């Protein structure tokens, strides 16, 4: 169990402490049709290999005429050949053209599939090439000139010549059974979905989307969507909306509890309710989930995120719950992180489910989510946590020493970063102002020993990338 005293640590140490409590979720098979709609942000949970040939048959790469190269002079001289068939996409490879009963030059019915040469067959892009043919001459390089969409087949013969390219997509030249299409940990992309479909797959093994519970604490909070502040001293519960939106943007399915009053028993009841002390068979259905998951027995969520109540005040209900002797509670870790804003932080497990407790100040909650929760959601989803990049400062600004100073910034066209302000507002930059977040697309991480950032100084900058990729 914990005591009321917080453990001092660096920002990096707290990131490590958070990530030590989560692991990638298992893979579940999700159909390609669903992934085409909701796949971006999902990650493969196993290697994926093709099970079919791409293309599955020799196919025309151009609209034109299928011919046998042996019938075309090697010096490029034109020849005139009878047109004996008309092949369109969708014809079975073993019967291509038969059902059209194409005309032969002598007027008799002819099967272009089994021609022995000395003839040409009209063929459209994607149609199977007859077994006797080994090239397609594009229509624009023949005496026909062009085909008319929907027009009848009228030519009895065509004059054409050997071309530098055969314009045939050969069976299996793109993908063969067993070819590796994606590795475990790779992102699901539109290209992967398309190639998997072509390669004979109907579903992909992907990490299921993490399920995150969000709640805020504070007796002063009223539902923001209610529109009624209910009297003096009450404020809208914006934090649970903030964290819900951030978690969803990070690629999670979210259960938003809303505000819980500053009462330890009420918080414990809310945690029990959201974690779901129910049988696995009765737990809420999760969209897209089609396989058992490794949540603790009966748990309905993979991560709990709370905001508020982690400081040292008399009303800090999270600290009170974490300090109590409770069999539902484990791995309690109350920390004082060398961070501004966001110094008070706490970690625990409630009924085995990881719990990340963030401070209640909205900017602190935003910063803490970006630094600590977003990486945890990424790990659960099987993705690499986001990493800072180096960017120059576009301007000078003071920085309080002693703790890593996290500054909301905006990226200029030059690539340099400036302190963020609310768009269109005449406000001085300030990390305490919630409206500052409106103009931010990144967080600058100013080292604890820096008292002033000078223009041109290289800073570690964490892009916010809202929405955070997700599945979003």
What does the pLDDT look like over 221-247, one tens digit per residue? Answer: 888 776 666 566 788 899 999 999 999
Most confident of 5-9, 108-112, 227-231, 452-456: 452-456
Do 447 and 321 have their domain in common? no
With the C-alpha atoms ordered 375, 370, 251, 275, is the resulting torsion angle positive or negative?
positive
Regarding pTM above 0.95, the answer is no
What separation in angstroms does the CA of 188 have from each of 30, 37, 47, 201, 468?
11, 11, 12, 14, 15
Say if CB 85 and CB 100 are below 8 A apart: yes
Residue 3 has pLDDT above 90, yes or no: no
Average pLDDT, the chain: 85
Name the percent of the chain lying above pLDDT 90. 70
Q: What is the mean pLDDT of residues 314-325?
A: 89
CATH number of the domain residue 151 falls in: 2.170.190.11
What separation in angstroms does the CA of 165 have from each of 116, 161, 168?
22, 12, 8
Do 354 and 223 have their domain in common? yes
Do 39 and 186 have their domain in common? yes
| Residues 227, 233, 239: CA angle, nearest 5 degrees | 60
Q: Which phi-psi region, left, alpha or beta, contains residue 232 (left: φ > 0; alpha: ψ -120 to 50)?
A: beta
Whole domain around residue 200: which residue ranges? 32-53+176-206
Do 223 and 81 have their domain in common? no
Q: pLDDT band at 104, cuts 50/70/90?
A: very low
How far apart CA 58 and CA 236 sit, in angstroms, is: 65
Show the tokens assigned to 43.
């990650």
Do 165 and 215 have their domain in common? no
Residue 291 has pLDDT above 50, yes or no: no
Asked if the structure places residue 76 within a domain, the reply is yes
Residue 469 has pLDDT above 90, yes or no: no
Show the tokens assigned to 154.
């009228």
Asked if the structure places residue 74 within a domain, the reply is yes
CATH number of the domain residue 457 falls in: 2.40.340.10
Tens digit of each residue's pLDDT (9 = 90 or more) over 377-431: 999 999 999 999 999 999 999 999 999 999 999 999 999 999 998 766 555 555 4
Do 264 and 219 have their domain in common? yes
Q: What is the mean pLDDT of residues 186-191?
A: 93
Query: What pLDDT sits at residue 103?
Result: 41
Query: What pLDDT sits at residue 454?
Result: 97
How far apart CA 429 and CA 407 sit, in angstroms, is: 9
Domain count, the chain: 4
Residue 177 has pLDDT above 90, yes or no: yes
Q: What is the mean pLDDT of residues 341-352?
A: 95
Asked if the structure places residue 469 within a domain, the reply is no
Do 332 and 289 have their domain in common? yes
Do 218 and 351 have their domain in common? yes
Q: Which phi-psi region, left, alpha or beta, contains residue 48 (left: φ > 0; alpha: ψ -120 to 50)?
A: beta
Asked if the structure places residue 2 within a domain, the reply is no
Do 280 and 317 have their domain in common? yes
Backbone angles phi, psi at 350, to 5 degrees: -115, 115
Residue 19 has pLDDT above 70, yes or no: yes
At which of 116, 144, 169 does a domain end? 169
Show the tokens assigned to 270.
């809310």
Say if CB 30 and CB 203 are below 8 A apart: yes
Do 361 and 450 have their domain in common? no
Do 325 and 229 have their domain in common? yes
With the C-alpha atoms ordered 168, 173, 36, 248, is the resulting torsion angle positive or negative?
negative
Asked if the structure places residue 471 within a domain, the reply is no
Query: What pLDDT sits at residue 98?
Result: 39
Tens digit of each residue's pLDDT (9 = 90 or more) over 245-284: 999 999 899 999 889 999 999 999 999 999 984 323 333 3
């Amino acid at each position: 169990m914990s005591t009321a005293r917080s453990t001092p640590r660096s920002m990096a140490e707290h990131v490590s402490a958070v990530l030590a409590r989560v692991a990638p979720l298992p893979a579940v098979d999700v159909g390609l049709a669903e992934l085409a709609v909701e796949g971006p942000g999902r990650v493969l949970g196993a290697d994926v290999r093709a099970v079919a040939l791409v293309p599955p048959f020799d196919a025309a790469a151009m609209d034109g005429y299928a011919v046998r190269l042996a019938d075309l002079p090697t010096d490029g001289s034109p020849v005139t050949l009878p047109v004996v068939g008309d092949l369109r996409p969708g014809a079975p490879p073993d019967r291509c053209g038969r059902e059209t009963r194409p005309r032969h030059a002598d007027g008799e019915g002819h099967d272009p599939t089994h021609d022995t040469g000395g003839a040409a067959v009209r063929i459209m892009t994607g149609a199977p090439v007859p077994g006797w043919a080994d090239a397609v001459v594009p229509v624009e390089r023949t005496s026909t000139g062009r085909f008319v969409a929907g027009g009848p087949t009228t030519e009895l013969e065509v004059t054409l010549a050997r071309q530098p390219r055969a314009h045939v997509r050969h069976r299996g030249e793109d993908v063969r059974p067993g070819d590796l299409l994606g590795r475990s940990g790779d992102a699901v992309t539109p290209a992967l979905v398309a190639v998997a479909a072509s390669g004979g797959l109907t579903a992909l093994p992907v990490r299921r989307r993490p399920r995150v519970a969000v709640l805020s604490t504070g007796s002063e909070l009223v539902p923001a969507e209610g529109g009624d502040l209910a009297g003096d001293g009450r404020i809208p519960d914006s934090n649970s909306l903030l964290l819900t939106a951030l978690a969803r943007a990070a690629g999670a399915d979210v259960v938003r509890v809303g505000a819980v009053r500053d009462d330890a028993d009420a918080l414990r009841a809310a945690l029990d309710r959201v974690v779901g002390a129910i049988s696995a068979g009765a737990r809420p259905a999760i969209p897209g989930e089609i396989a058992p998951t490794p949540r603790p027995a009966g748990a309905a969520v993979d991560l709990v995120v709370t905001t508020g109540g982690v400081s040292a005040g008399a009303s800090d209900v999270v600290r009170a719950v974490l300090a109590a002797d409770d069999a539902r509670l484990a791995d309690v870790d109350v920390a004082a992180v060398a961070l501004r804003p966001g110094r008070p932080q706490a970690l625990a497990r409630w009924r085995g489910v990881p719990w990340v407790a963030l401070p209640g100040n909205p900017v602190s909650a935003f910063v803490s989510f970006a630094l600590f929760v977003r990486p945890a959601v990424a790990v659960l989803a099987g993705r690499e946590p986001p990493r800072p990049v180096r960017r120059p400062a576009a301007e000078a600004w003071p920085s309080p020493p002693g703790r890593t100073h996290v500054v909301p910034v905006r990226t200029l066209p030059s690539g340099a970063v400036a302190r963020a302000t609310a768009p269109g507002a005449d406000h001085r930059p300030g990390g305490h102002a919630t409206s500052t977040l409106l103009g931010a697309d990144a967080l600058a991480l100013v080292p604890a020993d820096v008292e002033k950032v000078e223009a041109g100084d290289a800073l570690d900058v964490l892009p916010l990338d809202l929405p955070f990729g997700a599945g979003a």
